[in-house]
Every structure is written in structure tokens, then in C-alpha cells.
Chains A and B, each alone.
Chain A
């Protein structure tokens, strides 16, 4: 059981480049989300999805796009990378059900924008 899989694990981008961070889960979870982790700031929600075809913004959505064409995949796109987007990115999924259900996290993608 792979759980939540993120690729790549590490990435270096030049300012202005675009790229897509991949996230896939094999648990048939309806809810998926993207967070960024910065020192001293914990995790902040970027975008989330409650099912295929449905996405919404979190706390820090600017500079990022998402789409959800299947239940399994939830890619995060950086349209024009900026140094402020240097961070560790985590994808998470959660099953539909009671509101107290915990989230399952991927191992993260460490992104550096130079």
C-alpha cells in the first residue's frame, strides 16, 4: 500500500521557470490538499480538492494552480517560479466521512528556486 506518493523529492528551478509537482494516492480518498512548510511557520494550505473536478483555494494560493481530473491525482503547478516559493511541499489526502478523520501525508518535495 503506497499511500500518498509525491514526485519529485527534490527540485531546483530558475526564477521564471514552470513545473508541476505530482501527487498520487491509492486509498480512494476524496479529499486532497497541498501545503507548504516554511521554517517557523508550520504548514500552510495552498489549494485543496473535495473530489474530481472540484478545487478551492487555501491560505496561500497565489502563484499556484491545481486541477483534479481523477480521484487519484492532484498535481500542483507553479506557473512562473519565484524565490519566495522555495519551500517544502506536502500533499495530503483524507477519506470522506466524519469530520474528525485525520489526513495522510506524502514524504514531501523540497523545492529551491534560484
Chain B
């Protein structure tokens, strides 16, 4: 069965510091991994994805994610956090057999303090 785990409910970081939001996955076959961000009272917005190729994926708003096959992880990173990055972040994996099914993690609330 496919699944995604986000082990941290909340991550606190000071503005200007690097941030990491963790995600581990379990999937049959090659993983298709995604990160989405949700601002208050808004829908989910796509940030980046890993399909194949380079393990370091760059996305929107200066975010990047590192795919690690041996650790089955896909952590979201940013070198210098902004207060405006404060939001809820979701990791997702596509079903290996049904391209229309996505499995989401429980979400991590990122708080960036000035």
C-alpha cells in the first residue's frame, strides 16, 4: 500500500534560517512525489515534484526538495526562511497503479518568526 508520513506536526524556525520539512514515503515501484502548500482559507498550491532524474528538485518560491531513495525520504528545504513562508505543507505520493489517486501526509505547520 502507498503511504506518506510527515513526522512533525509543526516546525518553528526564525526568519533567515534554513528550514526543513520532513516527508517519508512507502510506495510500490518508482515514486512520484509532490509538495503542496496551503495558506489559511485557501486551496492547496503546487510547489514541486520528483518524477525522475536529479535527486535535488527546485520549485516555486525558492523551495527545493531532496529525494533519497535509500531512506525513502523527500524532505522539503529552503536556505533562508521568510515570515511569508508560514503555512501548512503537505507531501503527497501518487498511487503506483492508479495515476489518479494521490496519498497525502497529515501536513506540517511551518511557523517562521521574525
Binding site for B on A (CB under 8 A): 4, 31, 33, 35, 40-45, 48, 50, 56, 58, 90, 92, 94, 98-100, 102-108
Contacts and interface: CB of A to CB of B under 8 A. Distances in A.
Nearest to B44: A105
Interface residues of B, number: 26
Main secondary structure of the interface of A (DSSP, over half): strand
A102 B103 CA distance: 13
A50 B99 CA distance: 10
Given A42-B90, A107-B42, A107-B43, A102 B49 contact: yes
B25 to A, nearest CB: 13
A50 B100 CA distance: 8
B103 to A, nearest CB: 8
B104 interface: yes
B12 interface: no
Contacts of B107: 40, 42
